[in-house]
Structure 1
Amino acid sequence: MVVATSMPENKEKAIQLDLPVIDLSWRRDAVKKLAVRACEEFGFFKVINHGIPKEIIERVDRKSKEFFALPASEKQKVGPPNPLGYGSKKIGPNGDTGELEYLLFHTNPSSINQRVGMINKKDPKSFSCVANDYVESVRELTCKILEIIGEGLGLYDTKAFSRLIRESESDSLVRMNHYPPYHGINAEKELNCMNNKDDKGYRLGFGEHTDPQILTVLRSNDVEGLQIQSPSDCTSWIPVKSDPSAFFVNVGDALQAMTNGRLVSVRHRAMANTKRSRLSTMFFAAPSLQTSIYPLPEMMTVDNHQRYRPYTWAEYKKTMYSLRLASNCLELFRIDSKGNNSMR
């Protein structure tokens, strides 16, 4: 029987905290130490001077904005999310909802052409070309970051993580999220109530969760909304200040498993602003479906025994899709101190 735990519904609070910022123009020795520390303490950091051309970012932002401005009937032609495609409000198959609409597609060029090539009938290659350019650039950035982390961890094979993303059969995905402003009859009243509670008029856009993949590389427009869970208090959330020129990186479940728990898959959520639209684009770096995920030998010691059993990426995805958004899927693959697996 598969049982997963969800986070308890406690009284939440937002806290202000300086989050790690990594400048990729710094010396490599400094960058790799800071990256590993950030992944250990927060599971998250901000990247500046990343090297991705401004025009590539601007083009994908423009296409994303154009897509979400289309009539619903046009957006729905991209296909219902199963799990790829266009979705609105519903998140996954298990009853989770949020104040957003999204477009989710595979990063394989042929898949991009097939999935999003139909968006612009006058110029069917327009969206797919922009998406392919963005994917190629962000994939390279992701691999660079993963190799920096590999060096910081002292791995013998510093490309152990990035190689999984470069594989032709990589299951990496891109999600474009749009959190529209709220124009309901009671919008202003709700905003005033929320402001009185000092949460700045935000509504839940995408509920709390961890990302199942190896690494997520995200950027958004200048509207805030992303929050990560405090590493010291599961009832506290840390607002992430928006920066359209930067990328934000968070550890996923697979990287936590491969590092035997040393790097932390951060729980996070997105809030939807009542008055302004928020757009964000995520690159989810994942291995092929057949890839076996397990703790690397260098991550295990006499005092730090193997914490997770080997599993394929396909197995993990299947389990994840059977659970609610807030469930702790990785716990089902944990090995206890007696060598027993949590999944029975």
Structure 2
Amino acid sequence: MVVLSSTGSLDQLSLLRSVPPKPACFSGVPVVDLARPDAAVPLVKACQDLGIFRLTNHGIPTELMQRLEAEAAEFFSLSLVEKQTLGPPNPFGYGNKMIGANGDIGWLEYLLFAVDTSKPTCSFSSTFKEYLAAMRKLASKVLELMAEGLQIEPRDAISKLVMDEDSEGIFRFNYYPPCPLLQGFNYRLTGFGEHTDPQVISILRSNNSSGLQISLKDGSWVPALPDQESFFVNVGDSLQVLTNGRFRSVRHRVVANGMETRLSMIYFFGPALGEKIAPLPQLMREGEHSLYKEFTWEEYKKAAYRLRLGDNRLGLFEK
């Protein structure tokens, strides 16, 4: 375990010698084309098999995505003092290297927002608001397709949990800067350690730069390669519970090669704090028992954020 600190010393951050080999059985992250009338079928299969899919023909202009990326990159190019001043107030805002309060670290800087913040304080606020509105519409459509594919009613059985005015959304910019000390070496840095997302779903875009990796059922790691136009949609822990384990909360991580800049934008869709999380009754077959104890989103957040990134959070609530 080593880390490259801002002073150039080696300390606690993992260095990975090479990209993990791709298993012969893995052909890439499944693609869900929203323009297809049968999009619900591959969507459900991807959520069951991997817990992640690539979303295409989603209707969000590439120009909007690139505009927000450019404004975020401009923010991260500022001095440390400026970034700390211009970010939103704690517990959200600007940070670097430290991920949470339990000792997890990564080679990154980040900017974290509560989505219900009425007046984002960063210089890209107008673009930011436009992007958030587009993301909410997209998430609602995706979650309704999930309900369709699972053959449950009403159509908003899942989407209403994260579209309520009290629902909790989090938006995160992650910036992985170059590392001069790695120039000429075949190493990769741990950018964001392995974890699952606690929320229902998360929608991610990166600036066409590699680094995202997902864990298969056998524990092997494979790359999830980006492109200019699509999004990745991740199943979160809450959705795994809502489907009683039918959908898989995907374990993932980010490795930074130290040579190139990587910027990702992630919207995490969570329920209201008091919302009870339990398998949807519409999904439960006769005689089927819940795999999980019922809990509220607030209870799960408190439990999850006391743990390290890589810990099995759902294990606390399994029966």
Give TM-score scaled by structure 1 length: 0.83
Q: Distance in 1 between matches of 2:234 and 2:287?
A: 27
CA distance in 2, matches of 1:101, 1:81: 16
Indicate the residue corresponding to 1:15 in structure 2. Answer: 22
Q: Distance in 1 between matches of 2:223 and 2:21?
A: 7
Whose helix proportion is higher, 1 or 2? Answer: 1
2:207 to 208, 216, 221: 221
Structure 1 spans left out of the alignment, 5+ residues: 1-11, 121-126, 195-201, 336-344
Would you say the 8 A contact 1:38–1:44 is kept in 2?
Answer: yes
Paired residues of 1:308 and 1:334 also in contact (CA < 8 A): yes
For 1:75 and 1:266, the matched residues in 2 are separated by 31
Who is 1:188 aligned against? 183
Partner residue of 1:293 out of 265, 272, 277:
277
Q: How much has 1:226 moved relative to structure 2?
A: 0.3
C-alpha distance after superposition, 1:265-284 (max 9, x if no partner): 00000011221000000010
SS at match of 1:94: coil
2:146 and 2:193 map into 1 onto residues whose CA distance is 28
Secondary structure of the 1:175 match is: strand
**CA distance in 2: counterparts of 1:263 and 1:163, whole angstroms:** 18
SS of residue in 2 equivalent to 1:88: strand
What value does the CA root-mean-square deviation take over the aligned residues? Answer: 1.8
Which residue among 47, 52, 66 is the counterpart of 1:58?
66
Aligned residue runs from structure 1 range 141-180, under 5 A: 141-180=138-177
Of residues 216, 219, 228, the one that matches 1:230 is 216
Q: Which amino acid aligns with 2:211?
A: G
Q: CA deviation at 1:76?
A: 1.0
Return the letter of the residue paired with 2:72: S
Aligned residues: 299
- Residues 132-169 of structure 1, C-alpha deviation per residue, up to 9 Å, x if partnerless? 11110011101100000011001122211111222111
For residue 320 of structure 1, the aligned residue among 296, 304, 311 is 304
> Given the alignment of the two structures, is residue 128 of structure 1 paired with residue 125 of structure 2, yes or no?
yes
Identity %: 45
Partner of 2:247: 263
Q: Which amino acid aligns with 1:132?
A: K
C-alpha displacement of 1:54: 2.3
Residue in 1 that maps onto 2:112: 104
> Given the two structures, how large is their TM-score scaled by the length of structure 2?
0.90
Q: 2:223 matched to 1:239?
A: yes
Partners of 1:108 and 1:63 lie apart in 2 by 20
Which secondary structure does the structure 2 equivalent of 1:205 belong to? Answer: strand
C-alpha distance in 2 between matches for 1:303 and 1:264: 22
- 1:254: which partner in 2? 238
